């Protein structure tokens, strides 16, 4: 099927076209990357806090986490979660005397895997940003009676956010591209969809080019967005 159809029909939105599926795949890719980024930000901030913690063991654990997750291929992490999650879930369920719940949704394991790696990189970025705030300012804020939330909102965030934005933009780009690895779990994101389309129409070149174009749209649109945010950030930060 489709072997003789012209490219425009195959990529179109008609009955034989894969256009709708590819766009939906791109949307799912975006969702995976967003979820991974969010997981990475939360976990990364926790790692940064842990590294600055008074408990040596906790700080060391956070450092080791960063070293390992930045030194191991992302594909390995995705595979580990994909193959390992059902067993882990069954084990946890058995602890509570429940039957095995089967495999968790591919979206969850996929974005968790990318997010775990993202966290290691984001923690480095946050650490670098925090160094930019002199400890005297934190002490002064404490002396003025500010709580941790107020301290973060008034003293740390305004000085750190515009500094961490460019490296976070880089990490976002990597998340977007790493989300293609989730395709091995069978989640129908852009990479998987293009593979399926290539397989069923026997036109791999066409569909891989289409997927490349869609990835380029995603990456260049988000880099434009980050550039805009950076300009805003500079304005908030005032003259350097």
Partner 1 sequence: MNDELAFLAMTALAIARALPVTVLLSVAGALGSSGLAGVLVVAQATRLGRPIAQLWIFVFRGTPLLLQMFMVYYGLAALGPIRHGPLWPAFREPVFCAWLALTCCCSAYIAEVLRAALAAIPKGQIEAALACGMSRWTRVRRIIAPQMLRLALPAYGNELVMLIKSTSLASTITVVDVTGVAQLVIAHSYRTLEVFCLAAAVYLGLTAGLTALLRRLEAKLMEGPRR
204 is an interface residue for partner 1 by CB under 8 A: yes
Specify burial of residue 162 (Cβ count, 10 A radius: 0-12, 13-18, 19+).
buried
Q: What is the DSSP letter of 16?
A: T
Binding letters toward partner 1, positions 147-186, x by CB under 8 A = ------------------------------xxxxx-xx--
Which is nearer to partner 1, 141 or 195 (by Cβ)?
195
73 is an interface residue for partner 1 by CB under 8 A: yes
119 is an interface residue for partner 1 by CB under 8 A: no
193 is an interface residue for partner 1 by CB under 8 A: no
Question: Which residue's entry shows tokens 């973060």?
Answer: 152
216 is an interface residue for partner 1 by CB under 8 A: yes
Residues between 87 and 116 with contacts to partner 1, criterion CB under 8 A = 87
Cβ contacts of 99 within 8 Å, gap of 6 or more: 93
What is the enclosing helix (H) or strand (E) of 75? helix 74-95
CA distance linking residue 25 with residue 35, whole number of Å: 15
224 is an interface residue for partner 1 by CB under 8 A: no
Contact 106, 81 (CB under 8 A): no
195 is an interface residue for partner 1 by CB under 8 A: yes
Q: What is the DSSP letter of 145?
A: T
User: Which residues in this chain contact partner 1 in the complex, by CB under 8 A?
Assistant: 67-68, 71-76, 79-80, 83-84, 87, 177-181, 183-184, 191, 194-195, 198, 202-205, 208-209, 211-212, 215-216, 219-220
């Amino acid at each position: 099927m489709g072997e003789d159809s012209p490219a425009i029909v195959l990529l179109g939105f008609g009955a034989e076209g894969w256009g709708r599926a590819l766009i939906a795949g791109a949307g799912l890719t975006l969702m995976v990357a967003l979820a991974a980024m969010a997981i990475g930000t939360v976990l990364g901030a926790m790692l940064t806090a842990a590294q600055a913690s008074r408990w040596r063991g906790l700080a060391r654990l956070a450092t080791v986490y960063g070293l390992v997750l930045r030194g191991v291929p992302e594909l390995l992490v995705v595979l580990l979660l994909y193959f390992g999650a059902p067993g882990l879930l069954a084990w946890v369920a058995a602890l509570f005397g429940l039957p095995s719940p089967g495999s968790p949704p591919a979206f969850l394991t996929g974005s968790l895997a990318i997010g775990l790696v993202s966290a290691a990189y984001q923690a480095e970025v946050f650490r670098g940003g925090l160094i930019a705030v002199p400890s005297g300012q934190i002490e002064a804020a404490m002396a003025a009676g500010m709580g941790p939330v107020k301290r973060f909102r008034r003293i740390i965030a305004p000085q750190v956010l515009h500094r961490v934005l460019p490296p976070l933009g880089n990490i976002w780009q990597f998340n977007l591209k790493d989300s293609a690895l989730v395709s091995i779990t069978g989640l129908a994101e852009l990479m998987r969809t293009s593979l399926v389309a290539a397989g069923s129409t026997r036109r791999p070149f066409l569909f891989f080019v289409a997927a490349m174009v869609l990835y380029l749209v995603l990456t260049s649109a988000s880099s434009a967005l980050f550039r805009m945010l950076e300009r805003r950030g500079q304005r908030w930060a005032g003259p350097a």
